[in-house]
Amino acid sequence: MMNVVILAAGQGKRMHSDLPKVLQPLAGKPMIECVLDTVAKLPDVSRTVVVVGHRAEVVREALSDRTNIEFALQEPQLGTGHALQCALPALDPAAEQTLVLLGDVPLVQPETVDRLCRVAGDGMAILTTVLRNPTGYGRILRQRGRIVAIVEQKDATEGQKQIREVNTGIMLLPTARLSGWLSELKASNAQGEYYLTDVIGLAVRDGVRINSARPRRSFEVEGVNSKTQLARLEGIWQDHQAELLTEAGVTVIDPSRLDIRGRLVCGRDVTIDVGCIFEGDVELADGVTVGPYCVIRNACIEAGAKIDAFCHIDGAVVGSGARVGPYARLRPQAVLSEDVHVGNFVEIKKSNIGRGSKINHLSYIGDTDMGSGVNIGAGTITCNYDGVHKFRTTIGDNAFIGSDTQLIAPVTVGEGATLGAGTTLAKNAPAGELTLSRAPQRTIKGWKRPTKGKAPVAASAAPAAPAAVDPAAPTAAPEAPEATEAAAEHRHEGGKSRARTPARARAHQQKVQEREEAAAQTQSAEPTEA
């Protein structure tokens, strides 16, 4: 068994940020989360202790969903040796070894840590690397090939500064000896701190063999102390991710314009265009094509699906052979079945879209269960009458929803039903029937549009013709003048105006309704709504 201690107490002054250094993001997550992800892949970990100091409460809160870690407070921060002293009470004494990792060295990989553990044997081990420019790093001192000490940059002689093998800060120590060694540390150095690296000399004194291992890739042991270093490491990591994808057969149009901020799994013959960002857990099945500048987060794209440019997909499932975009947005719990088409400026949320259904233009579908073969016209929205309760909308197989239609949940559209364009549906629409909900179209003869800055034009003295209604014409929402006309409509007979009585008004309205129904029957025989 093994303890893991992550040193994360530093302030990071060179970051020039209120955010603690270990919480600065790399590959879409705080650096310390990257380290903890590596720890989660290690076998036989007994306890994981995170040493916090600067803004400790902020770091604790950021890691509050990690239930398998403990915290140790280092206050004040007196060096790496002092940090490990603070962690001692939280360690499992039965664990044979204690692994020390650094919260600002985020990209060390599990296989590298495993190699370090294997070379330690019954002694201890240090992860080292060779740098062209080792400035700032502690130098590894060897005698006859064996490690005998580590000297920090500020304490090194000119000859020691020429050594290119450096300490990464990552080491494996025997738990039983920690307490004794740490109690002997002295702060007699240029920094006035307790260096964990001084343990090396104590181990040599006690006859403990010190072995070493090196990472396969140099970026694994690069530390971050500034935003410049953080940006550089981000670029290195993204290049590495793109290289892994292309080696696995994925077509990445421009590897320098790809961002993976989580876990991306790709099948065969996947193509990813420029500027795409993948966050969280994303799966792209065989034959998937992702167009340029898409953002895909925690989503599953099934075989043969095509995602066109500038789409945002978050927490959604896209079925095989489906086509999405361009400029489409799929929000959490949007599930598209096979061969679904979702076009430009369409937003879908918490909805199930049946096989082969089409939502091609300018629509919002939320909290909806949609059958197969449904055609949704442009400008359609599903909505709730009170804006609070998320009632469901149900649309049966092969329904046709005309353009500019609103479906006010809870409501059901029956199988094979047709909703005429411009319908506001507040009641269930029966299967196989045409349903309309529109006011009759009217033309107001002689009406003059007001002109800015001019007095209204006087009404003509000639008798006005009655309002004309064409029963065969498509109906539409009433225009603004209609309300005024309905409130005080007059008929002219023999040069005199006579107000329409309530009884006459009702009779007129009945006639208009009969004409509308006749028009609807004509339309139902051959629907023309788009």
Query: What gap in Å lies between CA 208 and CA 202, rounded to an integer?
Result: 9
How many other C-beta atoms can be found within 10 angstroms of the C-beta atom of residue 473? 12
DSSP helix/strand/coil, 70? strand
Strand ranges (E), 159-305: 165-174, 210-213, 251-252, 258-266, 271-272, 276-284, 289-290, 295-297, 300-301
Whether 508 is catalytic: no
In terms of Cβ atoms closer than 10 Å to its own Cβ (0-12, 13-18, 19+), residue 460 is exposed
- Provide Rg for the chain, Cα atoms: 36
> Using an 8 Å Cβ cutoff, are 249 and 288 in contact?
no
Active-site option among 54, 240, 312, 361: 361
Q: What is the 3-state secondary structure (H, E, C) of 85-127?
A: HHHHHHCCCCCCEEEEEECCCCCCCHHHHHHHHHHHCCCEEEE
Query: What gap in Å lies between CA 59 and CA 9, rounded to an integer?
Result: 9
Query: What gap in Å lies between CA 207 and CA 122, rounded to an integer?
Result: 12
Query: What gap in Å lies between CA 341 and CA 319, rounded to an integer?
Result: 10
Residues paired with 172 in a beta bridge: 99, 125
* Residue (of 289, 298, 381, 378) closest to 334 by Cα position: 298
* Residue (of 156, 141, 150, 258) closest to 199 by Cα position: 150
| Amino acid identity for residue 103 in this structure | G
Query: What gap in Å lies between CA 123 and CA 211, rounded to an integer?
Result: 8
Residue with tokens 């040193």: 7
Could you give the residue numbers annotated as active site? 361
